[in-house]
Amino acid sequence: MTLPPAGFAFPSPRPHFLDFGFSNPLEEFNMLPALLAAVLSIMIYLITTLSRRGPSFVPEDIPDLSDKTILITGGNSGIGYQTAKELLLKGATVYLSARGVMEPPDHMLTAQNIDLQFGTNVVGHFFLTELLIPALFSSAKTRGLPARIINVSSSGHRNAPLGPGIDFASLSGGHQRDELIATWGTKAPTYLYGQSKLGNILISNHFAAKSDDTQIISTALHPGGIRTELRRYGGGIMHTIKNKLLYPPSMGTLTQLWAATVAPAAAINGQYLVPWAQIAPGDGADLDQRAANLALRDELITWLEERIEGF
């Protein structure tokens, strides 16, 4: 038998596309139950998503937008970036702002001591919309067409904490929040993300109720399971597998482009939209019933108004 020369190093094996970086086979074996649970969860997710009909709307259906002005939050990457590209191709004037987080470390807070995810996804969007309301009313009056507010939520709103769906004790930094996060354990990032996405739907419903659909319409939507930079904080088996299976950002633009441009305004006002470019069926499979909780909506609006007072 011929031995390799001294100093020879065997090449490292090519990593498998599902290589999770475990240091030994026993570690992989111990993670098998979690892996199987992750695979089962993803199979259910895919069956639900892939069972939807294909998109009847494509960006080519968008009319000329040369007289339209559109503001996109989170427009520097992913879905927002692709959405901006399609709107610009149709002649729209597009303004971008750039803020987006998804399941960041649960200790992260805004400068105002608000949970980072809720502050970004809900407080910031609510405040911005409130500031824009006079301009939106003016636009509707001048053009004779309703202005449109499109809130990008997620199917993840169904992962909001048990109970009403928003645990207000978790929204502001302090001892009470720390205890709650500790109680939630590994579910904390999912709960915090879920209640922020539920918050998106609730504030969308609030703005839909504030005006008749000849002036301002407001709708919330789930863009689909999309591979975006928002998942930069994610890790572990679930995120690794999902990122292999999620749709590209171009697919995530379809429902919001449809809502913003060609969907009948009155028909989508106060509705929840789902992939691809349609109003969620009334069977409750897509929308958590807590999103229709008027008491929770009003409590959230009061909480938000208190937080933005003075700014």
SS3 219: strand
Q: Is 193 a catalytic residue?
A: yes
Rounded (5°) CA angle 224-229-259: 35
300 burial (CB, 10 Å; 0-12 / 13-18 / 19+) is buried
Count Cα atoms within 13 angstroms, Cβ side, for 103: 21
Q: Is 45 a catalytic residue?
A: no
Catalytic residue among 153, 154, 155, 172: 153
- Which residues face 95 on adjacent strands? 71
| Strand order from edge to edge, sheet including 272-274 | 147-152, 216-221, 272-274, 278-279
Q: Is 191 a catalytic residue?
A: no
User: Is residue 60 within 8 Å of residue 90, measured between CB atoms?
Assistant: no
Structure tokens at 131: 């500031």
DSSP structure class, residue 200: H
Tell me how far apart the alpha carbons of residues 19 and 28 are, in angstroms, rounded to a whole number.
Answer: 10
Catalytic residue among 68, 139, 170, 197: 197
What is the DSSP secondary-structure string of 12-54? PPPPPTT----SSHHHHHHTHHHHHHHHHHHHHHHHHHHTSPP
User: Is the backbone of residue 152 left (phi > 0), alpha (psi -120 to 50) or beta?
Assistant: beta
Catalytic residue among 81, 154, 170, 193: 193
Active site residues: 153, 193, 197
